Amino acid sequence: MKFAKRLEWCDSSDVGDILKALSDPEILSLAGGLPAPELFPVEEVKTATALVLDREGDKALQYSSAQGDPRLREMVARRMTDKYGTPAKAEEVLITNGSQQALDMAGKVFLEEGSVVLCESPTYLGALGAFRTYGAEFVEVETDSDGMIIEDLERKLKEIDDVRLVYVNPDFQNPTGIDWSVERRKAFAEVVGRYGVAAIEDNPYGELRFEGPCPPSIKSFDRDGVVISLGSFSKIFSPGMRVAWMIAAPEILSKFGDMKQNAILCSSTLHQAQIVAYNEMFDLDAHVERICKVYKKRMSVLIDSVREFFPKEAVVVPPAGGLFAWVELPEGVNARDVFKVAVEEHKVAFVPGGAFFAEPGHENYMRLNFSNVPEDRLKEGIRRLGAVLSQSM
Ligand code: PMP
């Protein structure tokens, strides 16, 4: 059997160990990026679903438009304008099956074999996978605790010929938890606009902010219509529903709409209607606030435990939101080796950080999840990891 060349990069053994570890119920996992299931609004969704089926069952079980339920698009546009200053109208919103589908479609819409994608260093593993499938070559842009270094972005845009996309995750980045400063957001929009290159602002975590309001989005500074804003209900409501959105200029949106139509015809009509009904009957913002309170507490337990149990040389910065903390180990310590011992001998898992870099090296990092682990288990997990690190450092 002959498989397509575009799959050749794909080495499932790389994530295979992690997935295997996650499926073992004895493993205490700080690896995944899962929301806390005990916070899912199960009863409310039951009530909202009854309303949908009573009121519009014939439509909710039918095919629907590729662009998505107009009521949901209206809701998304309003929330994005209110929360991030993103000036969106319902017709500028396309519903996607998770933001992951938007990343896959971006590969189809923009990339050819050898096209260059500029990204943060490190960046979201799932974006690397999505774009690699369409032949992307990645170039990392230097990044600090305020986001991408704009001078380096501009230098790379100037020097590299075939940059098709710039991909960034500016609010509580997966994996580092970095939250871009407003100045960087503004400068970034100006530079990508001047070079006329498409930029993806991927923001599934922005609303999981432990204090204060959301900063303006990059999209809110986009005067040239090059920024594609991605958001998702996965982390604020339910990842199982697979409902997310993109906001972009009409020319871009229609290309994505065509790709979506060809790929899946439409998103789940029922799940879109359930979210619309939930939003009519309950308070999504209050739900997000509840989630944030729990995650903030878990984050501080994780950080306190790292400081108590990890060797002094391990550096961790408490994130101001999101799901992850990022730990830098001394150079020379390989987190993939640490992972093996942690899983096999101490029954605890995390994600070795090297997987999040487009370029090789950088093996001395760990990504730790705090959303999906109760406080006592978090402390125990970090205690075990501390024991492994003390042995290996
Ligand atoms: N982007 C980032 C940065 C993510 O971390 C994730 C999920 N882990 C996604 C996109 C995809 O999310 P979903 O498809 O569930 O919306």
CATH of the domain at 145: 3.40.640.10
- Please work out whether the CB of residue 238 comes within 6 Å of at least one atom of ligand 1: no
Residue 302 is part of which domain span? 5-41+286-392
Query: Residue 17's pLDDT is what?
Result: 65
Does 83 share its domain with 25? no
Considering 280, 303, 318, which residue would you say is the last residue of a domain?
A: 280
Mean pLDDT of the region 85-108: 97
Which residue, by CA, sits nearest to atom 8 of ligand 1? 33
Ligand 1 atom with the shortest distance to the CA of 323: 5
Find the 54 Cα to ligand 1 centroid distance in Å.
32
Which domain CATH number covers 315? 3.90.1150.10
- Please work out whether the CB of residue 174 comes within 6 Å of at least one atom of ligand 1: yes
Find the 55 Cα to ligand 1 centroid distance in Å.
32
- Please work out whether the CB of residue 129 comes within 6 Å of at least one atom of ligand 1: no
Q: Do residues 323 and 208 touch, judged by C-beta distance below 8 A?
A: yes
Q: Do residues 327 and 362 touch, judged by C-beta distance below 8 A?
A: no
Query: Any idea what DSSP says for residue 310?
Result: S
Find the 234 Cα to ligand 1 centroid distance in Å.
8
Query: Residue 110's pLDDT is what?
Result: 98
Look at residues 29, 84, 306 and name the one whose alpha carbon lies nearest to residue 206. 84
Ligand 1 atom with the shortest distance to the CA of 101: 14
Backbone dihedral region for residue 3 (phi beyond 0: left; psi -120 to 50: alpha; all else: beta): beta
Which is more confident, 347 or 20? 347
Does 26 share its domain with 127? no
Does 316 share its domain with 362? yes
Q: Which of 94, 120, 234, 268 to mutate to test the pocket of ligand 1 (most atoms within 8 A of CB)?
A: 234
Mean pLDDT of the region 94-121: 97
- Please work out whether the CB of residue 202 comes within 6 Å of at least one atom of ligand 1: yes
Query: Residue 189's pLDDT is what?
Result: 98
Look at residues 56, 111, 45 and name the one whose alpha carbon lies nearest to residue 243. 45
Look at residues 84, 82, 80 and name the one whose alpha carbon lies nearest to residue 93. 80
Does 256 share its domain with 373? no
Find the 127 Cα to ligand 1 centroid distance in Å.
9
Query: Residue 16's pLDDT is what?
Result: 67
The dihedrals phi and psi of 324, each to the nearest 5 degrees, come to -130, 150
Of the pLDDT bands very low, low, confident and very high (cuts 50, 70, 90), residue 14 is: low
Residue with tokens 């978090």: 378
- Please work out whether the CB of residue 98 comes within 6 Å of at least one atom of ligand 1: yes
Does 52 share its domain with 189? yes
Does 88 share its domain with 116? yes
Does 49 share its domain with 26? no
Predicted confidence (pLDDT) at residue 176 exceeds the cutoff of 80 = yes
- Please work out whether the CB of residue 239 comes within 6 Å of at least one atom of ligand 1: yes
- Please work out whether the CB of residue 369 comes within 6 Å of at least one atom of ligand 1: no
Query: Any idea what DSSP says for residue 6?
Result: G
What whole-number distance in Å separates Cα of residue 40 and Cα of residue 20? 25
Query: Residue 170's pLDDT is what?
Result: 98
Does 143 share its domain with 229? yes
The answer for residues whose C-beta is within 8 angstroms of residue 338's C-beta and 6 or more apart is 329, 352, 366, 385, 388, 389, 392
Query: Residue 12's pLDDT is what?
Result: 66
> Residue 364, Cβ neighbours under 10 Å: how many?
19
Considering 252, 280, 308, which residue would you say is the last residue of a domain?
A: 280
Query: Residue 15's pLDDT is what?
Result: 62
Predicted confidence (pLDDT) at residue 131 exceeds the cutoff of 70 = yes
- Please work out whether the CB of residue 229 comes within 6 Å of at least one atom of ligand 1: no
The per-residue pLDDT for range 295-328, each reduced to its tens digit, is: 999 999 999 999 999 999 999 999 999 999 999 9
Mean pLDDT of the region 137-165: 97
Of the pLDDT bands very low, low, confident and very high (cuts 50, 70, 90), residue 11 is: confident
Query: Residue 24's pLDDT is what?
Result: 84
Counted domains in the chain: 2
Does 214 share its domain with 295? no
What whole-number distance in Å separates Cα of residue 208 and Cα of residue 346? 31
Query: Residue 55's pLDDT is what?
Result: 97
Query: Residue 10's pLDDT is what?
Result: 82
Ligand 1 atom with the shortest distance to the CA of 234: 15
Q: How many residues does the chain have?
A: 393
Predicted confidence (pLDDT) at residue 385 exceeds the cutoff of 90 = yes
Strands 198-202 and 163-168: parallel
Strands 351-352 and 365-369: antiparallel
Find the 99 Cα to ligand 1 centroid distance in Å.
6
Predicted confidence (pLDDT) at residue 13 exceeds the cutoff of 90 = no
Does 15 share its domain with 62? no
Predicted confidence (pLDDT) at residue 223 exceeds the cutoff of 70 = yes
Predicted confidence (pLDDT) at residue 22 exceeds the cutoff of 90 = no
Q: Do residues 249 and 225 touch, judged by C-beta distance below 8 A?
A: yes
Structure tokens at 195: 């070079």
Considering 245, 280, 315, which residue would you say is the last residue of a domain?
A: 280
Does 190 share its domain with 52? yes
The per-residue pLDDT for range 360-381, each reduced to its tens digit, is: 999 999 999 999 999 999 999 9
Does 10 share its domain with 51? no
Kindly report the average pLDDT of the chain as a whole number: 96
